[in-house]
Amino acid sequence: MTRQQVASHDPTKAAGKGLAQKWVDLFNRTRDRFLNEISDIPIANKAYRLRVLQRMSTTAEGMKNLGMTAQLLEQAAKEVGDAYSNKQKVELTGKDGGPLNQVTYTAEDYAKAQQKLEGRLEGLD
């Protein structure tokens, strides 16, 4: 099957624009299921992956394969620590790790600061 044949059955491609509505609907339903039904795939679940890693680690340790056991433990630690995701953990702290200072400015405070700044900028043109 060529790429052109595949494209002729894809309503999102120029070659597939003439598809009958029933095929467009089938395509969209199928694509939606494919993209959204990750929960039906066991390996996509973190708890499942950790259970499998646990079984593998127990087996490797029982076989005295310490290198493999160490690798599996590292992989499990990365899995728990979200090393395999693109999440970023950001922790904001103030000076020396203390809490952040929160300051509330009034409109008057803002106007004074703006006047002070504009005074410093005069003559820099």
Q: Is residue 53 included in any domain, yes or no?
A: yes
For residues 125 and 106, give the distance between their C-alpha atoms in angstroms, rounded to a whole number.
30
This model's pTM is above 0.85: no
Task: Retrieve residue 7's tokens.
Answer: 């494209």
Q: Is residue 55 included in any domain, yes or no?
A: yes
Q: Is residue 72 included in any domain, yes or no?
A: yes
- What is the model's pLDDT at position 61? 95
**pLDDT tens profile 84-98:** 666 667 778 888 888
- What is the model's pLDDT at position 82? 76
Q: Is residue 91 included in any domain, yes or no?
A: no
- What is the model's pLDDT at position 33? 86
Q: Is residue 49 included in any domain, yes or no?
A: yes
DSSP string of the chain, one letter each residue: --HHHHHTT-TTSGGGTT--HHHHHHHHHHHHHHHH-GGGSGGGSHHHHHHHHHHHHHHHHHTT-HHHHHHHHHHHHHHHTTTTS---------GGG-PPP-----HHHHHHHHHHHHHHHTT--
For residues 70 and 76, give the distance between their C-alpha atoms in angstroms, rounded to a whole number.
10
For residue 58, the enclosing domain spans 43-80
- What is the model's pLDDT at position 84? 67
Task: Retrieve residue 105's tokens.
Answer: 């400015």
Q: Is residue 51 included in any domain, yes or no?
A: yes
- What is the model's pLDDT at position 52? 96
- What is the model's pLDDT at position 118? 87
Q: Please list the pLDDT of the chain residue by residue as tens digits (125 residues).
A: 898 888 888 899 899 889 999 999 999 999 888 888 877 888 888 899 999 999 999 999 999 999 999 999 999 999 988 776 666 677 788 888 888 888 898 999 999 999 888 888 887 76
Q: How many domains does the chain have?
A: 1
Q: Is residue 86 included in any domain, yes or no?
A: no
